[in-house]
Chain A
Amino acid sequence: MTRFDELPEQTRQLAGSLQAGLRQQETRLDRQTVAALREARAHALSAAHRPAIRPGWLYASGGLATAAAVALVLVLQPSGPVAGLSTENSVRAAGTEAIDVLTDDVDADFYEDLELYRWLDRGHDGAA
């Protein structure tokens, strides 16, 4: 059982009983979902040991998807202004954010890895 020393006394006990209750309820997932999770785990473990194959056409389709996303944003500009910005700026801001979100698959892993390595490094420095 986890200790919740950082919590005030009046909520510490509730945290403990909620944890116990939630852990107990996990066992009530339906068989279909449990099987799907088992399959997902097996797939993840086996796929992790296969080299990632990225054929050339994948890069070309990635470029096309990016171009399509940009075109889509330009055509379907948001109608309402963002609070605190002029209409022109809000359209530009929303459009830029949309492009960023729709195209950030390319670099998401890179930035996530970088961040994870940073905090792992900080963790080891702190432990030393």
Chain B
Amino acid sequence: MLLSALQELVTDDSLSSPVDLNAFLSGVERRAYLRALRATRDRDEALDLVQDAMLKLSRHYETRPGREWPALFQRILTNRIRDWQRRQAVRRRLFFWRDTVDPREDEIQDRLDGIVDPAQVDGATALVQAEQLRKVMAALDKLPARQREAFELRVWEGLPVADTARAMGCSEGSVKTHLSRAMASLRDAAERELP
């Protein structure tokens, strides 16, 4: 196994370079940040998680073939987000007397809403689409975590089913099930919200 991996490193013409990795990260960083922001509701925490995932990919997997980077990066980011959520849950339990309502919650929601701001869109059709998108994204926040992950990785990020399964650490069948349920819920939300 080690030998074949070394041979692949030597012979693979898609072998990565810092320039390629920079281009790759540049292409995924905004979606990664929005995923992290949606999960943490904290701009600084989201930026930290994204930088952490970038650092880990650069440090440990830069020499892997570039085609493997998308699934690797999303896997790392997904793990980072899950770890952050676990720690938050424990902190809330240990420090239960603290106020759990973040005063910046409104600001963060405005920031997320502002990304799909109908006021910035021209034309009646586009306005309806932007409004629909905003409502669907609100529904996305209410989905169970695994369904939301499946949607974010498969639909938003555009990973193939196999890579989505690797990033989520589950089978392809589970990805299809989670995604199918997520899309059914989002379709209901979209249809409910249409004028």
Contact residues of A with B, CB < 8 Å?
A: 2, 4, 6-8, 10-11, 14-15, 17-19, 21-22, 25-26, 28-30, 33-34, 36-38, 40-41, 43-45, 47-49, 72-73, 76, 78, 94, 97-98, 101-102, 108-109, 112-113, 115-116, 119-121, 123-124
Contacts and interface: CB of A to CB of B under 8 A. Distances in A.
Nearest to A76: B94
Contacts of A109: 56
A36 to B, nearest CB: 6
B60 A19 contact: no
B51 A124 contact: no
Interface string B33-66: 1100000000100010011001111111110100
A82 B46 CA distance: 31
B155 A2 contact: yes
The 6 closest A-B pairs by CB, nearest first: A48-B58, A44-B54, A40-B51, A11-B183, A44-B55, A2-B158
9 contacts: A7-B183, A8-B180, A22-B133, A25-B116, A26-B34, A28-B120, A45-B54, A48-B59, A120-B68
Contact of A45 (B22, B56, B79, B161): B22
Interface bracket on B: 35 or more
Contacts of A121: 1
Nearest to B184: A11
Contacts of B55: 43-44, 47-48
Interface in B97-124: 111, 114-117, 120
Contact of B79 (A4, A49, A97, A112): A112
B184 A44 contact: no
B54 A97 contact: no
B4 interface: yes
Contacts of B142: none
B93 A7 contact: no
A27 B59 CA distance: 28
B25 A45 contact: yes
A45 B58 contact: yes
Given A26-B31, A34-B30, A48-B59, A15 B54 contact: no
A43 to B, nearest CB: 6
Contact of A15 (B22, B114, B162, B183): B183
Given A18-B136, A21-B129, A45-B22, A37 B183 contact: no
A102 B93 contact: no
A38 B25 CA distance: 9
B33 A72 contact: no
